[in-house]
Amino acid sequence: MFLISQKFKFFLSFFLTIGILWALINFIGLHNLFVTFKKIKIKYALIAFFLSLSFPFFGALRWHWLLKAINQNLSILNCFALTIGTWPLNVFLPSRTGDFFRVIFLNRNISKAKVFGSIIAEKLLDIACLSIIGLFGSIFIKNKKFTIIFIGILILIAVSSQVLFFLEKWLRDKNIQLLNKLSLTIQGINILSLYPKFSIIAAFWSLINWSLSIVQVFLFFKAFDIYVSLIEISARLPLSIFIGILPITLAGIGTRDTAMLFLFKEFAPLSIIFSVSIFYTLYSYFLYGLLGIPFFIYLASQCKS
């Protein structure tokens, strides 16, 4: 029954992805997109490409420090292999849920429950760091609506952390085997509140990662001869990413594009904004998915042996 449900969700996401993408292409016009891509300045796209190659390393460093906080000793190299090795799955799954498959490839000396929790903590940290970047951007451009949204997200993360802290304590006191597993998972999630030293280091790498993503989108716009300030992108891109990680379409394709069309409409023609969003998807999902295939094959073979 579970497998049928998962297959149904996948096909639903797949058809929604195709449907939204088809609607966007028809709305903007295929001819307009071809004309836009013909005018691209390759040098900016190449700079953005080489910038993309650094992101998996920052992701590995972020996760390494979160794992270190809960005494799960995985080398930076192993963290990198697991991070990039599960990226091919993110292309076919919504909300980057492919990241959770890292747990499958762990050896027996590692607590899978804690590591599972650490991946959730990693995602919460990413949302918090993106919200901080978005908050500063929205304050600078004096957009009250954006500011309220980012403050609300940060408050929600802070409240959730406290709730999980007390829940983990309650579960530990119960001392029931099934609940103990859940308790270990929550311990992994609670890294952010229980281990501030390690969380700050992890947040540093996360902030670098997302700040460079802002620069990357700036370069995408420059590739089409459009200037959008880094401050404006800082305020608007995080909201597009948040909408893109909603479990609606595969890899956020369509939903993130729609959000970018709405949020950046005052800065460029729709054909250019859509072209920028296509580049973002190619560089942030399909590039890593392609680079991750050899690592995925290696991890799968190690798991079997």
Q: Is residue 48 part of a domain?
A: no
pLDDT tens digits along 103-139? 998 877 788 888 888 998 999 999 999 999 999 999 9
Asked whether residue 95 is assigned to any structural domain, the reply reads no
| Domain assignment present for 37 | no
Residue 223, pLDDT above cutoff 80: yes
The CA distances from residue 73 to 107, 109, 184, in Å, are 11, 9, 16
- Cα distances (Å, whole numbers) of residue 121 to 145, 252, 284: 27, 21, 21
Instruction: Give the chain's domain count.
Output: 1
Q: 46 in a domain, yes or no?
A: no
Query: What is the predicted pLDDT for the residue at 179?
Result: 55
The C-alpha atoms of residue 207 and residue 80 are separated, in whole angstroms, by: 18
Residues 40-65 have pLDDT tens digits of 999 999 999 999 999 999 999 999 99
pLDDT in tens, 176-215: 555 556 666 777 778 888 888 999 999 999 999 999 999 9
Residues 6+ apart with CB under 8 A from 266: none
As given in the structure block, the two tokens for residue 256 are: 């993130």
Give domain status of residue 290, yes or no: yes
- Token pair recorded at residue 19: 């449907």
Q: What are phi and psi of 125, to 5 degrees?
A: -65, -40
At position 28, the amino acid (one-letter code) is I
- Alpha-helical runs (H) found in the chain: 2-28, 30-38, 42-52, 55-69, 76-85, 87-90, 112-140, 144-174, 177-189, 191-194, 196-223, 230-244, 255-263, 270-281, 287-304
Is there a domain that residue 127 lies in? yes
Helix axes 196-223, 55-69, angle to 10 degrees: 170
Q: What is the pLDDT of residue 303?
A: 76
Report whether 159 contacts 260 (CB < 8 A).
Answer: no
Structural tokens at position 127: 């949302």
Say what the pTM is: 0.91
Amino acid letter for position 270: L
Whether residue 266 lies inside any domain: the answer is yes
- Assigned domain for 239 exists: yes
Lowest mean per-residue pLDDT among 137-141, 142-146, 185-189, 227-231: 185-189
Nearest to 236 by CA among 271, 270, 267, 279: 267
229: left (phi over 0), alpha (psi -120 to 50) or beta: beta
The stretch 3-11 carries a mean pLDDT of 69
Please tell me the predicted confidence (pLDDT) of residue 305.
62
Percent of the chain past pLDDT 90, that is, above it, reads 69
CA-CA-CA-CA torsion for 149, 153, 158, 162, nearest 10 degrees? 120
| pLDDT average, residue stretch 258-271 | 96
Q: Which domain holds residue 12?
A: 2-25+55-90+110-304
